[in-house]
Amino acid sequence: MTCEELRRILEEEGTASSEPARAHLAGCPACAGEAERWAAVLVALRELGQEPAPPFLHARIMAHVRTEAAPRRERRWHLLRGWRAPALAAAGAAVVILGLGLYQAVHPPVAEVNKVARAVTQDVEVVPGGQRPPASSAPSVAAAPMAPSESESSGPLRHELEADVREARAKKVIASKAGSLAEDAERRGASTADAVAASGPAPAPARAATRRERAATSPSLDETHPPPLAGLLRSAETAGKGSDLVRCRLQVEGEDEAVELLLPAGQAPPADEVWLVTVHADGQLDLRDSQGERQLAPLVLQQSIGQQRQIRSGRYRLSQAPVPPTP
Amino acid sequence: MPWWTSARGSALEQEGEVVERLRGRDEAAFEQLVGEHEREVFGLARRMLGDHEEALDATQETFLRAFRGLPSFRGQASLRTWLYGITLNVCRNRLTSAHARSRKITQPLVLVDETGAQQPVPVPDTAPDPEQTAYGRELRSALEHALAALSFEHREIVLLRDVQGLDYGEIAAVLGCALGTVKSRLGRARGALREALKEVWP
């Protein structure tokens, strides 16, 4: 075996343990030294792999995973946003109306059942932003009257949690009215309109309760706490190179309070965008760009929010400084 | 355990159960996965990227991608090799993107309290073991530089084999190549490492 062959074996295998190799090493000090050095290098390389991960890494990963998992639970409700919510409600109502129509065919009186159908349609007709479903998509529902007070007051309630509650309530109301009211009309001969009134169509107090629930479950600024941005971990503005960093502004949503911080250029919002930062009560951080797409939070923000808990839970607006005008 | 049931077979069965739980988005199972592999993933990312902060982000991104990709994980590879594959893809993307080039935070961070006074920032302790010998420190430092000087392909295969300790079959699964390719590429990579170590190893 030649020196060249032995060194090729050392590079490929890391060791040379065959009989010819050992015979060569026994008679060649240079190659024996090379083998010793390879052994030392391999030990040192293996030690590189024994370094522990930073202690905060686990919590940081899991915080993001939980944040990642959360929208998946919400995602199914995205189907109920915008035009889909009234369209689905209208489809549900249409099914109920058809069912009631069939029921009516064999169980008069007709007038009683039509009242039920109108009442049910009114209840599920309340749509986000006070919009009514297009007549082409749901003619039977569009033809039904709307409750004016509901449609006018629902503008600011265009929120996904509202959609959840509304959908759930609409399903429940449809089911309960289609079943129990029709049965009432049949069995007891009582006035269907009375039964509708007794069950309480689209109660305003329930909507107020929904707002309270949302306020209790969503991140909010608690007035008993110190100012939300107090103690924010931020980059020094004077030291080091500034070319790779972008001056950003983190502002409490709906308030004037804000702080500037420097973020790596690749992780800062573009100049014309405002990103939404949601800090949850448990320190989890959710960063969304203007399209609603999740963004990985820059380390500076994570350290200041996720690890150091320097920022209170709530919603913040992140943009490059100065803040672009709000449309 | 019956004599015909190998320890490897048992481990695969256990991993199969874990995979089923992971596919069902069992958070406890995923946390266990993170706990078992975060050190390896971070270590690989740390050496591939040569930057502590980048490696933190890459590790986080790796596990997020894994979490998103779990429904499509069919178990052809082990979870470990699957995670390594994701890690290397994440590292490759970071190294080739403009994002990575502008990523370094060169300014010191200060913690400003409510009175405006600066407070020291807690920094994770990543200092090497002080009990290392001078030779060990020198060799380690030289290795860090030598690894950084290797091409991506050479660095990844040296790290997988000599730092992470994967066998040839596992490396082939991670890199998606044949066993023979692994062997020859590893030989070339070690040769390049040997060349890069010339300063401390003439």
B112-137 confidence digits (pLDDT tens): 555 555 554 444 344 444 445 566 67
User: pTM for this structure?
Assistant: 0.47
Tokens of A295: 């963004």
Question: What is the Cα A113 distance to its own chain's centre?
Answer: 42
Q: Choose between A243 and A292: higher pLDDT.
A: A292
Phi, psi of A77, rounded to the nearest 5 degrees: -75, -15
Contact A273, A312 (CB under 8 A): no
Beta bridge partners of A314: A279
Pairing status of strand B109-112 against strand A233-235: antiparallel
Write b or e for each residue in A314-326: b if 16 or more Cβ atoms lie within 10 A of its Cβ, otherwise e: bbbbbbbbeeeee
Which residue bears the tokens 């265009």?
A: A158
Query: Where is A294: in which H helix or E strand?
Result: strand A294-295
Interface of B with A in 137-176 (CB under 8 A): 139-140, 143-144, 158-159, 162-165
Average model confidence (pLDDT) for chain A? 61
| A127-162 pLDDT tens trace | 333 344 444 433 333 333 333 333 333 333 344 444
Flag the least confident range among A107-121, A199-213, B114-128. A199-213
| Chain B residues within an 8 Å CB radius of A244 | 102-106
Residue A37 has a pLDDT of 84
Rounded to whole angstroms, the Cα distance separating A40 from B136 reads 9
- CA–CA separation, A134 and A141 (whole Å): 9
Task: Return the pLDDT at A244.
Answer: 63
Check if the beta carbon of residue B59 is closer than 8 Å to that of residue A57.
Answer: yes
Type of residue at A84: R
Nearest CA in chain B to A237: B107
Spatial contact of A53 and B59, defined as CB atoms under 8 Å apart: yes
**Among the listed residues B89, B33, B91, the one whose alpha carbon sits nearest the alpha carbon of residue B63:** B33
Size of interface A-B (CB pairs under 8 A): 167
Question: Which residue, among A10, A12, A41, would best test binding to B if mutated, counting the most B CBs under 10 Å from its CB?
Answer: A41
* Residue-wise pLDDT tens digits, A245-268: 777 888 888 887 777 777 766 777
Reported ipTM: the value is 0.74
Residue A267 CB: number of other CB atoms within 10 A? 21
pLDDT attached to residue A202 = 39
Nearest CA in chain A to B100: A266
Confidence of residue B4 (pLDDT cuts 50, 70, 90): very low
Residues in contact with A230: Cβ distance below 8 Å, sequence separation at least 6, in sequence order: A310, B113, B114
